[in-house]
Amino acid sequence: MIRLSNNIDLTHLASFATPAKADRLIEWDSAEELANYLRGEGGNFLRNGEQWAILGEGCNTLFTKDFRGTIIRCVAKGMETIEGSDNLHTLLRVAAGEVWDNVVEECCRRSLWGAENLSAIPSSVGSSAVQNIGAYGTEAKDIIERVEYLDLEDFELKCIDCKECQFGYRDSIFKHALAGKAIITAVVYRLSSTPAPKLDYGTLRPEVEKCGAELTPMVIREAVIRIRSSKLPDHKVIGNAGSFFKNPILPRTFVEELRKRYPAMPIYEVAGEPDKLKIATGWMIDHLGWKGKNIGRAGVHTQQALVLVNLGGATGDEVVTLAERICREVYEVFGVEISPEVNIL
Ligand SMILES: Cc1cc2nc3c(=O)[nH]c(=O)nc-3n(C[C@H](O)[C@H](O)[C@H](O)COP(=O)(O)OP(=O)(O)OC[C@H]3O[C@@H](n4cnc5c(N)ncnc54)[C@H](O)[C@@H]3O)c2cc1C
């Protein structure tokens, strides 16, 4: 199925809920049909150099103005256990438009390990690979086996394995060499039947132990959901896109100097990069007194300084004005350049 619509209201297609319209929306649920459609006249907008973008659940996208072009959105759903699964591992192939948390719930229901720490992250399956979503010491890359995509240069359906995806912190090949050249059509995840709980992050272990139940993926999922809902705003109630900024990864020597000036600043080791350290942007924003503050209708969440929120009726520009002011102050005080995790259109 290919569904075309014109003059589309985007307000409720992105979690910040800022007002914007798009000239055109293409929704698709079959990779083969999409390939045929774009190969033909339907893909003229790609060849004519017109503006276009891909949208999943819109939970990492901020619209600041009307989008004068075409939005492509996958509405393909469904997951299947595929060949290659054995007693130790299950390979789950999931359509790009599936809601990520449905995948986690299904894995936990089947007592499959690996996805439970990523519970309740609002995402499509396609974006789980683009973003390499992460939480509680786990990243999507830890369970991604391969990614299937439509190549927009030759309109062939292709597949790359986890290594080729060049996953990094909220990063992948889909933001670099394949940016604007690929539409993810499905992701294959590898889940484990062998218990592999990861509890050493934040307050996860005490939250899990509190309920005294046998350790299962579902028990961990429920603990993650309880922690998340106690400190993160529900984007369906208050517009936001989760962490607005990334946590910068900086040279160890620079961070050691910062640590002398700010001993309370949270600092993390970076796996595989001994010369670098990661610092907490939320801590810096909080230290500057921004938590719970606002400029007009755009604000900083009262419990999590990394999350910018739409207090009601904010435009995308108002959110950007707030974000720029915070970036400036962080740079002036800490000498650190922070950059948005959110895709600003
Ligand atoms: C309340 C809240 C909490 C959050 N917590 C976390 C968290 O704990 N960890 C975390 O990592 N993130 C978190 N986020 C951010 C967000 O959930 C992720 O970035 C998520 O992956 C966004 O998915 P989406 O489908 O909504 O992305 P969108 O905003 O729709 O798209 C994100 C990017 O992926 C591209 N894209 C989407 N689908 C495809 C496709 N099929 N093919 C190619 N490119 C595609 C888009 O073009 C865009 O560049 C949170 C967000 C919110 C609102």
Cα(11)–Cα(115) distance, integer angstroms: 30
Ligand 1 site-directed mutation target among 71, 74, 130, most atoms within 8 Å of CB:
130
The rounded Å distance from CA 125 to ligand 1 centre is: 9
The rounded Å distance from CA 61 to ligand 1 centre is: 7
Phi/psi at 294 (5° precision): -150, 160
Tokens 């102050």 belong to 329
The rounded Å distance from CA 59 to ligand 1 centre is: 5
Tokens 């007002």 belong to 19
- Give catalytic status of residue 341 as yes or no: yes
Cα(197)–Cα(205) distance, integer angstroms: 10
**Residue 59: CB within 6 Å of ligand 1?**
yes
Per-residue pLDDT at 18: 98
**Residue 53: CB within 6 Å of ligand 1?**
yes
- Give catalytic status of residue 243 as yes or no: yes
Are 26 and 70 in contact, with CB atoms under 8 Å apart?
A: yes
Cα(176)–Cα(184) distance, integer angstroms: 14
Per-residue pLDDT at 181: 98
Ligand 1 site-directed mutation target among 121, 181, 185, 204, most atoms within 8 Å of CB:
121
Per-residue pLDDT at 249: 96
Phi/psi at 173 (5° precision): -60, -25
Atom of ligand 1 nearest to the CA of 61: 29
Beta bridge partners of 180: none
Cα(201)–Cα(117) distance, integer angstroms: 10
Per-residue pLDDT at 87: 87
Question: ∠ at Cα 187 (203, 68), nearest 5°?
Answer: 95
SS (H, E, C) 275-290: CEEEECHHHHHHHCCC
**Which of 15, 119, 124, 243 does the annotation list as catalytic?**
243
**Which of 170, 228, 259, 297 does the annotation list as catalytic?**
170
- Give catalytic status of residue 41 as yes or no: no
Instruction: Find all residues with CB under 8 Å of 180, minimum gap 6, and list them.
Output: 152
Phi/psi at 333 (5° precision): -85, -45
pLDDT in tens, the chain (345 residues): 999 999 999 999 999 999 999 999 999 999 999 999 999 999 999 999 999 999 999 999 999 999 999 999 999 999 999 998 898 999 999 999 999 999 999 999 999 999 999 999 999 999 999 999 999 999 999 999 999 999 999 999 999 999 999 999 999 999 999 999 999 999 999 999 999 999 998 899 999 999 888 999 999 999 999 999 999 999 999 999 999 999 999 999 999 999 999 999 999 999 889 999 999 999 999 999 999 999 999 999 999 999 999 999 999 999 999 999 999 999 999 999 999 999 999
Task: Please name each of the domains of the chain with its CATH number.
Answer: 2-74 (3.30.43.10), 79-231 (3.30.465.10), 239-344 (3.90.78.10)
Atom of ligand 1 nearest to the CA of 139: 11
Per-residue pLDDT at 334: 98
Per-residue pLDDT at 271: 85
The rounded Å distance from CA 292 to ligand 1 centre is: 24
Return the structure tokens found at 76. Answer: 């393909």
